[in-house]
Structure 1
Amino acid sequence: MDSGFKFRIFTSDPFLRAPSILMKWPHFFKTAHPSDPCGGKSSDFLNVEVLAEDTTEVLGGYISADHEHLLEAAAYARTMSVAEVEAVLNRIVDEYEDDPNFPTRILDAANRYLFKNNLKKEQPAEYQRLYDELKVEAAMIAINSPYAEVRAVVDNHDDVNTPVNTFRTWIIGSVLVAAGASLNQFFSIRYPAIGVGPTVAQILAVPLGRLMELLPTKEFVTFGYTWSLNPGPFNPKEHMLITIMANVGFITPYTSNIIWIQYLPLYFNQSWALGFGYQILVALSTSLIGYGLAGLTRRFLVYPASAIWPGNLAQIALNRAFHADKPTVADGWSMSRRRWFLYCFCAMFVYFWFPDFICNALSYFNWMTWISPMNVSLAAITGSVFGLGFNPLPTFDWNQMIADPLINPFFTTFNYFLGALITFPIIVAIWYTNTWNTGYLPINSNYVFDNTGNLYAVAEAVGTDTLFNQTMYENYSPAYLSASYATEYGVFFALYTATLTHTFLYHRREIIHGFSSILSRDKTSGMHKDVHVRLMESYKEVTEWQYLMQVLVFVLRLFLTWIITGASVLLFAIVVGAVGIGVYPTNTAPAVVLYGVFLAIIFCVPVGIISAITNVEVTLNVLAELFSYGFITTYQTINFASDLKLAHYMHIPPQLTFSAQIYATVVSTFVCTGILNFQMTKIPGVCTPDQPNHFICPDVNTFFTASVLWGTLGPKRMFGPGGIYNNLLWCFLIGAILPVPIYFLRKKIKILQYIHTPVLLYGGLIWSPYSLANVWPAVPIAYLFNVFVKKRYIAWWSKYNYVTSTAFSAAIAICGIVIFFGIEWPGIQINWSGNTRPFEGCDGMVCARLPIPDQGYFGPGVSEFH
């Protein structure tokens, strides 16, 4: 063999006998193997004993694997019998038939091999070729993740002796959680707001961990546990556990908005809401209920291999860049992940100054509106600020894309865009036909208006007791929504029922297996245990009863030194929430906690499955307008479940993850509540429009408006019989039916296999305030990386794709902090046309299409509505 290739010994049985490979590498040995389905009589097929490294890049393209994983799978394939291979293939067809992330090429090949009965007799060569290809596929699934996305960043090996529960893990985690929670809570009420994401903590943890490697290695014994200030090099498991703590701790309590509008005089002026006990009870309750439910849904959202959680892969890629950066060659690129991360980070850090500060026109490139700035229709259709963003080149700002094109699967990005594109003409038609008087309002706005086209003044519809006043309401105005906002509500209604229907049709087997596993005490009863489930069996698991019985134990051990034992995560959290609402004068029944939990129980598994597969989280904020617990509990459940999967991928002991999440939640809640009290009592003029430091509380104002509209006025006046938007309730039925024809026709109409109904509908929710300008730019980028590059350069994609996304996100976050504190905080601005042009004209002024009638209002007048 004098081809000039560098060869490695490769122990494998018959292997991917694709004609193109035979033609390119004719020097391979041609031998038979007795386990071949053709009986080992043919000498026309390959038994690859020696494999060129260059060859693996081509072979990897066939089975979506890089060089290292390909070698490992091919070696394992030799140990598999025909029966074992076919068992895996049957499992593929059974478990992954409706999985949009699983390669359709493999599914088609498995179905052809298993169920085309005459193939072996009529086309023995084709039958043998299929077997050879699928044998390595089966081996890959047996020893690794079935998904190329996971294989790209997650290690399929584990060292159980790696120290994780270390002194520096808890110290660094505590410091970063406290710092991040403080910053996020403090600046959450400022406009423009600034936030610190967990990526920042993940980066800062590296130098802190390296610094603590200088501590002495002396061991100590505390309560029988041996520990050291320095157990050795800072390792990836410690790093990821700190990141998980940041994921949990950097989220500010959603209940802070409730406290704000209860306490402040310009809202409900309920001084008792300043009570620290009330604030802690309500905040801890919502978080811990979510965590209890997350633990109970692990068999649906964590253990199944199909629960990919694409968002986690970027965090693991960054972790791997700092700790496990092997000097491998990927499609000719030998650059390390760490170096590539630094290059991408620095490039984006420098570039982001331009669209964010120097030239806003790069961010809002609404160039078509510059032709005629005061043209209402042109601004409404093509505008990027308050228009619908129908623009082929709307932005040069990576941060403008609300769906990450590198992390999200391409089918997610495309369905997301398609949903927005489908709802676009609906919004235009509603606006131009003046349906629901939308022609008198801006086309794309998330504000609520009165019958004069001004913002709805809720004070005109409530009395001094902040309760609804029918007479005042009838003398004022109904509440009106823009065309995009009204459409968004209809899409929300359709999305909720579509989520349930879609989950039943496509994932009922996984749900059945999940419930079966609860009864059998097996993690994945009836389903394939992927390599990560098998590796995690080396660690003691947190049982369902521990999730029900350990939170109070943990909290008391942490703060009261092991005084009392026994209680329940879920039950304790429910009781805490009910006490917080019942003891204090909230004018709300404690049963609202149970309503919220009930809503979360119904939706957490369907919403979690969709989020785990597509990286799209169906938010329940509209359904939960009457029950604040319903939205935040489900939101917390999904976040916690995502972190549990992150720990699962990194092979972190589950009980340690359990303790770290609870600990970070408690620390963050106390820190954020303390900062909240400081803000309410020490910042002069807080939440007023003229607050000198811009602490004007935009989200709190929005929350207050929503609380009055949906709590005081009530949804019945908007959507009930006789309500302006009553017809939108039909969308519940439309959503329930929509997935059915797609499901049953998907095999006859090929394109329907790529339609994911909940994600499609979710794309219709981008409006008000976002637009097509925030969705379309992601599509070509997603196709380039997650289709073209992934298919042709799998090694490069595996090594660099997620690192690139993480580098961009980290650079934008840190650059945003620098710009905010260094430039915007002192009040420095650049006033030139590059910063002012995008906001001139109707796109920035949010013009309406129709003038207000001469009578001074549109729609029914005083006493003409009830």
Structure 2
Amino acid sequence: MAGSSKAMTLCSIFYLLGATGHEYAYMQPYLGPPPYRHKTTSPSMDNSPRILEKTSHILEKNNSSEFSIEKAADLVDVDVVAVEIQAVSEDVLEAAEHAQTMSAEEIEAIIHRIVDEYADDPNFPRPVLDAANRYLTDENLRNEPAEFQRVYDELKIEAAMMVINSPYAEVRAVVDNHDDPREPVGTFRAWFIGTIFVAAGALINQFFSIRYPGIGVGTNVAQILAMPVGKLMELLPTTEFVTFGFTWTLNPGPFSPKEHMLITIMANVGFITPYTANIIWVQYLPIYFNQPWALNFGYQILVALSTNLMGYGLAGVSRRWLVYPAKAIWPGNLAAIALNRAFHRQKSSVANGWRISRLRWFSYCFGAMFIYFWFPGFIFQALSYFNWMTWISPTNVSLAAITGSFFGLGLNPLPTFDYNMLYLDPLITPFFTTFNFFLGTLFTLPIIVALWYSNTWNTGYLPINSNLIFDNTGQLYNVGSVVGSNTLFNQTMYESYSPAYLSAANAVVYGAFFALYTATLMHAFLYYRHEIMHGFRSILSRQKTSNMHNDVHVQLMESYKEVPEWQYFLVLVFAIVVGAVGVGVYPTETSPAVVLYGVFLAIFFVVPLGIIASTTNIGIGLNVLAETIGGLWFPGNATAMNYFKSYGFITTDQALNFAGDLKLAHYMHMPPQQTFWAQIWATILSSFVCTAILNFQMTKIPDVCMPDQVNHFTCPGANTFFTASVLWGTLGPKRMFGAGGIYNNLLWCFLIGAVLPIPFYLLRKRVKILEFVYLPVILSGGLVWAPYSMALVWPVVPLGYIFNVFIKRRYLAWWSKYNYVTTTALSAAIAICAIVIFFAVDYKGINLMWSGNLRPIEGCDYAGCARLALPDEGFFGPGPGEFQ
């Protein structure tokens, strides 16, 4: 009966839509797909409003003047169909209208494509995939004509939706499948606001990057502030000017969504501080390598421009895999688009009975979180690290180690009431990602416990969960005890001091990193080899992508001139040249070839890592791999290792950031040429601003980076970077992971990672649950430890389930309208409130000394107690002269 009811519902839809050639009876024996008489046409490119005008047009075609839109919706009950294919009602109606223009052959081809291309896509709606498989393979289904027709009609609407819209509900929720090429984008107003914001954001982020606690402004702050500034500039005169043949005006009309997004994209790239600033701090400061020549502005700007621009060349080439395909969702972008839509779309629709506009909902959520965040952020800080279980017995080492939130593992059912503490964004991140990530954290927890309680690698003498490096007395490793006056490694000093030791959690993190790198490559080969090969074929055919006509957004972007590969290639060559000059001309004691080594590493990984990031919202950094290879390639040379690490890590990271921004512009249907030049300008401007501020910090701030600096400019990032540079560059990974090294067995993780995806891939069709296993994300869950814990991961799971499973399935219209607006409002409120708290109270040294702020930091959780006391000789492991 349920199948018959659904079939009659779909019958009503197509009768209402006036589809000709549908005279067959639904309850008659199935005689094949409906004999469509219309020719196949391309998707409509009109710019009309999506639902009211289209529905009215549909009703007019049926001469149903007595019907209202509301009566039509009641008659067809589109919500039933919407639930079946996970789409909102307006998208169903639009797809149903387009289905009239599609031939039976076209529909059949798309059904086959669903099974062939989306079988291993974790984001694709499973009910649709199951229906397509059932339609093509279930012989029993053909013996049930009504049920068969119902399945076919659902797939017919889905097929139409894949032609005129995105196959993903997440994208349809915020991305418009229509475009107006006349909408202004790269206006004087957008460039002016973007330039001011980039300069201000780069200044703030660089200046406070060396302060503890630090402060910074994010893109969401720029996106919020750009709106009132843009509206204010609507008051400027509309007089047109001609400069070098270009006509421009101070006020081209209403502040457009595309102008707003161009400013946001400029902030995305411009708010990032140069990674090479860490190298320069380590070189320049007397407490580190004491190389005064590193103050040279020419040297600083060359390496900053090089690392900042290097990623563009790879991002441009990777568009075939990371931007054009519909599968490349980039979930993090959807929140920015949702906020843009909330600001610029004043017309409100009804979503599961809710009529409140997106902008008003954003205001309510923003205001509520801004007020609330004062409690975990300042007044009642125990709400952030709610390690209540350790309060029972603060000095109990095991209790703190297992349940604690600071140096413990965070096994706590109620660990935080602070949204800012969550490791993943539960509303943006797909739930399959959230749960796989949680499984990775859960599976590695008992491994850490076993290492600690068995005292493997002497971990029992150290805190269970710390990212610090220790010596054989349990104290922080003193890198000055292993280097001579020339900052080079001294074997004699090393043998009289101590090997370097890792906590149990930190050792597991390194093992997870090693396994993750090879698992990522193997996973990409097994699951995405066809997409990767399609991308390479498209290079030879000079097409955007081999299946370019499958995505409506690619078709809409055909209206704009694309940025050619050679343009990106020139940027890459420029970045390589200036980097080689900066490293080679100045006395870095480093070969300029280090620039190319890093680029080669990025070329090898950018597509696999990008596919995973664009699908799961999980970014995988190459920092540990770059440190390991750099340390082996340049033994004893910390600066060379630092540059290899910088180019190997930041090139890939920047390339993926820029590719994500290109997808953001792709979703907003912005001219690629304008996006490209806006990114380039913002990056160059930010590099100069940050480098100038870096020089100011080095020369004008007294006692900078000293522990007792009066304004707390103690450079915690530079301290960590210096320690890593000595351990990995001077001391070298060979002494830790090579033959005879303490952690040599962790190298087996490379092999484990390479082999592990194979059985999951081979068994995924036989064991149903394995279809939901995403191994790189599971391994990424093992990277949480040292310094974080499960306390930051577990709370994401129930929130992610509530929003991205329960609400999404039952109240899809509400979810589509409010989900991304909600998370953007909460994040933006936290960012702005944190800035206010910093300047209003933290900067003035105001503290509330009461139990709600002091209780979490009392006891072993905060102190990081070790399980075992030092032996009588005062050290553990081999003593001085007993190791090499």
- In structure 2, stretches of 5+ residues that fail to align are 35-57, 631-643
Match of 2:90 in 1: 68
Cα distance, 1:126 vs structure 2: 2.1
1:110 has 2:132 as partner? yes
1:435 has 2:421 as partner? no
Please, which of 358, 361, 373 is the counterpart of residue 394 of structure 2? 373
Residue by residue, what CA displacement relative to the aligned partner does 1:131-169 show, whole Å, maximum 9, x if unpaired? 111000111111001100000000000000111110111
Q: Partners of 1:753 and 1:42 in 2: how far apart?
A: 37
Find the residue that maps to 2:428 and give its secondary structure.
coil
Which residues in structure 2 correspond to 1:356-367 (within 5 Å)? 356-367=377-388
Match of 2:118 in 1: 96
Please, which of 872, 875, 879 is the counterpart of residue 854 of structure 1? 872
Match of 1:758 in 2: 776
Letter in 2 for 1:837: R
Q: Partners of 1:465 and 1:25 in 2: how far apart?
A: 79
Q: Partners of 2:437 and 2:23 in 1: how far apart?
A: 44
Q: 1:269 to 1:610 in 2, by over 3 A?
A: same
Residue by residue, what CA displacement relative to the aligned partner does 1:779-801 show, whole Å, maximum 9, x if unpaired? 00000000000001000000000
Q: Partners of 1:649 and 1:392 in 2: how far apart?
A: 39
TM-score w.r.t. structure 2 length?
0.92
Please, which of 611, 614, 627 is the counterpart of residue 613 of structure 2? 611
Q: Partners of 1:818 and 1:28 in 2: how far apart?
A: 54
Cα distance, 1:118 vs structure 2: 5.8
1:53 has 2:73 as partner? yes
Find the residue that maps to 1:227 and give its secondary structure.
strand
1:255 has 2:291 as partner? no
- In structure 1, stretches of 5+ residues that fail to align are 1-15, 549-567
Contact 1:349 1:815 in 2 (8 A): yes
Q: 1:374 to 1:360 in 2, by over 3 A?
A: same
Cα distance, 1:25 vs structure 2: 10
Please, which of 795, 801, 807 is the counterpart of residue 813 of structure 2? 795
Contact 1:358 1:830 in 2 (8 A): yes
Contact 2:7 2:150 in 1 (8 A): no
Residue by residue, what CA displacement relative to the aligned partner does 1:612-647 show, whole Å, maximum 9, x if unpaired? 000001110001112221001111001000000000
1:411 has 2:432 as partner? yes
Letter in 2 for 1:269: N
Q: Partners of 1:232 and 1:17 in 2: how far apart?
A: 53
Match of 2:491 in 1: 470
Match of 1:383 in 2: 404
Q: Partners of 1:598 and 1:716 in 2: how far apart?
A: 22
1:483 has 2:504 as partner? yes
Find the residue that maps to 2:660 and give its secondary structure.
helix
TM-score w.r.t. structure 1 length?
0.94
Q: 1:24 to 1:292 in 2, by over 3 A?
A: closer
1:697 has 2:704 as partner? no
Q: Partners of 1:661 and 1:527 in 2: how far apart?
A: 25
Q: Partners of 1:533 and 1:107 in 2: how far apart?
A: 23
Q: Partners of 2:517 and 2:10 in 1: how far apart?
A: 54
Q: 1:236 to 1:789 in 2, by over 3 A?
A: same
Contact 1:294 1:641 in 2 (8 A): yes
Match of 1:451 in 2: 472
Which residues in structure 2 correspond to 1:395-794 (within 5 Å)? 395-526=416-547, 528-548=549-569, 568-625=570-627, 626=630, 627-628=644-645, 629-794=647-812
1:85 has 2:107 as partner? yes
Find the residue that maps to 2:847 and give its secondary structure.
coil
Residue identity (%):
71
Cα distance, 1:325 vs structure 2: 3.5
Contact 1:460 1:473 in 2 (8 A): yes
Q: Partners of 1:237 and 1:541 in 2: how far apart?
A: 17
Cα distance, 1:97 vs structure 2: 1.2
Q: Partners of 1:511 and 1:27 in 2: how far apart?
A: 43
Cα distance, 1:254 vs structure 2: 0.6
Cα distance, 1:20 vs structure 2: 4.7
Which residues in structure 2 correspond to 1:126-275 (within 5 Å)? 126-275=147-296
What is the Cα-based RMSD across aligned positions, in Å?
2.0
Contact 1:164 1:237 in 2 (8 A): yes
Contact 1:497 1:733 in 2 (8 A): yes
Find the residue that maps to 2:280 and give its secondary structure.
helix
Letter in 1 for 2:184: P
Q: Partners of 2:235 and 2:547 in 1: how far apart?
A: 49
Residue by residue, what CA displacement relative to the aligned partner does 1:173-204 show, whole Å, maximum 9, x if unpaired? 00000000000000011111111000000001
Q: 1:722 to 1:781 in 2, by over 3 A?
A: same
Cα distance, 1:52 vs structure 2: 3.8
Bigger CA drift: 180-189 or 282-291?
A: 282-291
Letter in 2 for 1:592: V
Bigger CA drift: 38-47 or 702-711?
A: 38-47
Cα distance, 1:82 vs structure 2: 1.2
Contact 1:189 1:699 in 2 (8 A): yes
Please, which of 779, 804, 809 is the counterpart of residue 827 of structure 2? 809
Q: 1:691 to 1:658 in 2, by over 3 A?
A: same
Q: Partners of 1:827 and 1:34 in 2: how far apart?
A: 75
Find the residue that maps to 2:867 and give its secondary structure.
coil
Bigger CA drift: 516-525 or 478-487?
A: 516-525
Find the residue that maps to 2:834 and give its secondary structure.
helix
Cα distance, 1:35 vs structure 2: 5.3
Contact 1:37 1:128 in 2 (8 A): no
Cα distance, 1:42 vs structure 2: 3.3
Find the residue that maps to 1:152 and give its secondary structure.
helix
Contact 2:808 2:815 in 1 (8 A): yes
Find the residue that maps to 2:718 and give its secondary structure.
helix
Find the residue that maps to 2:489 and give its secondary structure.
coil
Find the residue that maps to 1:220 and give its secondary structure.
strand
Which residues in structure 2 correspond to 1:290-329 (within 5 Å)? 290-329=311-350
Q: 1:69 to 1:34 in 2, by over 3 A?
A: closer
Find the residue that maps to 2:210 and give its secondary structure.
coil
Letter in 1 for 2:373: F
Contact 2:454 2:460 in 1 (8 A): yes
Aligned residues: 831
Match of 2:636 in 1: none
Cα distance, 1:80 vs structure 2: 1.4
Q: Partners of 1:663 and 1:37 in 2: how far apart?
A: 60
Q: Partners of 2:331 and 2:23 in 1: how far apart?
A: 37
Q: Partners of 1:144 and 1:827 in 2: how far apart?
A: 54
Residue by residue, what CA displacement relative to the aligned partner does 1:382-435 show, whole Å, maximum 9, x if unpaired? 001211000000011001101000000000111111100000000000000000
Q: Partners of 2:277 and 2:243 in 1: how far apart?
A: 38
Find the residue that maps to 2:406 and give its secondary structure.
coil
Cα distance, 1:114 vs structure 2: 2.1
Cα distance, 1:821 vs structure 2: 0.3
Contact 1:33 1:40 in 2 (8 A): no
Q: Partners of 2:254 and 2:15 in 1: how far apart?
A: 48
Letter in 2 for 1:750: K
Cα distance, 1:524 vs structure 2: 1.6
Q: Partners of 2:572 and 2:138 in 1: how far apart?
A: 51
1:839 has 2:870 as partner? no
Bigger CA drift: 204-213 or 323-332?
A: 323-332
Match of 2:298 in 1: 277
Find the residue that maps to 2:340 and give its secondary structure.
helix
